[in-house]
């Protein structure tokens, strides 16, 4: 049965590929990342994945912080804001403790950042818990259970499993999915979304990374900036794996989208339509130099328009100016 399904999938793909010309090969698309392309979703400049792969080979990243810093310094300008702040913190710590590596330096700061993180988290959980007063009885009971479990995790200094923001929001959404009032539903989720991610709070980054090896910490400082192919229609929904369905996105945005539809991604990243335009303008400029092609941009416009429920309406008129 599975084999049959795979066969069908394959046939469907071959058929579509023959029907539509693929505008850019994967190699050509990847090559665009050599030209400081902004991420489709967050608009931050992306790093070519080969440069990242080369960094993975550098043994110095696991050694003394000072040696690792020298290797990472050329990438400081493309680090995402939290990563850059942590990098600067590591730089000043390394001056104070020249013999320590990245892990040892983060461990010095871990406790204080963990407290700061729990403070932010618990104030948000309090706000979420307030809704027990308003929700129908059954939902209120489920919410109470979730909050007890969650508090057990965050107030335990050595939890069995670390707290996951993503799973918490998923469970919360599940509890209130049948709530009649859309406004209250949105209010609750909006509050929960304020829970810090390691990409938006230094304390969350430090807590998450203090458990990792020094070279992993070093790579995590730039990992979010690495350029990737985002499947616009997710793979699990039979999205094609070629440039008709690929957009260039930083690894952070790609990972945080999972397989959610693009309108949900826009909800979490309200600037996405503007950033998609920034990327398109850059691609058009590259097109004029013969590095990108017209068909890729036209297809991207079309696909984003429909998949985003028309939220992303790219202006590609410059493409036709001579």
What residues line the site for Zn ion (CB under 5 A)?
39, 41-42, 250, 253
| Shortest reach from residue 116's CB to Zn ion, in Å | 25
| Shortest reach from residue 266's CB to Zn ion, in Å | 13
| Shortest reach from residue 80's CB to Zn ion, in Å | 8
Where are any strands of DSSP class E within the chain? 227-231, 246-250
For 177-180, the CB contacts below 8 A with 24+ separation are 178/139, 179/135, 179/136, 179/139
Q: Is 255 left (phi over 0), alpha (psi -120 to 50) or beta?
A: alpha
Q: Give the residue with the Cβ less far from Zn ion, 42 or 79.
A: 42
| Beta-carbon count within 10 A of 36 CB | 12
Question: Rounded to whole angstroms, how far apart are CA atoms 131 and 181?
Answer: 13
- Structure-token pair, residue 241: 């794996």
Could you give the 3-state DSSP secondary structure of residue 146? helix
Question: Rounded to whole angstroms, how far apart are CA atoms 113 and 205?
Answer: 9
Question: Rounded to whole angstroms, how far apart are CA atoms 141 and 246?
Answer: 43
| Shortest reach from residue 192's CB to Zn ion, in Å | 22
Q: Give the residue with the Cβ less far from Zn ion, 244 or 248.
A: 248
Q: Give the residue with the Cβ less far from Zn ion, 224 or 243.
A: 224
| Shortest reach from residue 227's CB to Zn ion, in Å | 9
Q: Give the residue with the Cβ less far from Zn ion, 211 or 274.
A: 274
């Amino acid at each position: 049965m599975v084999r049959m399904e795979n066969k069908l999938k394959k046939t469907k793909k071959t058929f579509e590929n023959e029907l539509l010309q693929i505008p850019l090969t994967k190699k050509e698309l990847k090559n665009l990342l050599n030209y400081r392309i902004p991420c489709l979703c967050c608009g931050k400049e992306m790093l070519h994945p080969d440069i990242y792969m080369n960094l993975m080979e550098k043994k110095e990243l696991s050694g003394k912080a000072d040696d690792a810093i020298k290797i990472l310094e050329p990438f400081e300008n493309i680090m995402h804001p939290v990563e850059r702040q942590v990098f600067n913190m590591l730089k000043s710590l390394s001056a104070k403790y020249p013999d320590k590596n990245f892990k040892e330096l983060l461990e010095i700061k871990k406790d204080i950042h963990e407290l700061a993180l729990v403070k932010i988290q618990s104030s948000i959980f309090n706000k979420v818990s307030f809704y027990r007063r308003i929700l129908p009885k059954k939902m209120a009971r489920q919410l109470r259970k979730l909050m007890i479990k969650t508090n057990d995790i965050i107030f335990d200094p050595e939890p069995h499993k670390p707290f996951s923001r993503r799973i918490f929001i998923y469970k919360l959404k599940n509890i209130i999915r049948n709530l009649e009032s859309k406004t209250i539903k949105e209010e609750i989720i909006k509050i929960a979304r304020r829970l810090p991610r390691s990409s938006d709070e230094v304390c969350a980054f430090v807590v998450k990374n203090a458990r990792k090896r020094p070279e992993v910490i070093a790579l995590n400082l730039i990992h979010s900036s690495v350029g990737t192919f985002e499947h616009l229609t997710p793979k699990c929904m039979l999205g094609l794996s070629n440039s008709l369905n690929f957009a260039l996105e930083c690894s952070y945005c790609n990972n945080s989208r999972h397989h959610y539809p693009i309108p949900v991604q826009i909800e979490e990243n309200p600037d996405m339509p503007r950033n998609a335009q920034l990327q398109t303008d850059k691609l058009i400029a590259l097109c004029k130099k013969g590095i990108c092609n017209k068909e890729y941009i036209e297809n991207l416009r079309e696909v984003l328009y429909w998949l985003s429920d028309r939220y992303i309406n790219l202006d590609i008129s410059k493409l036709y100016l001579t």
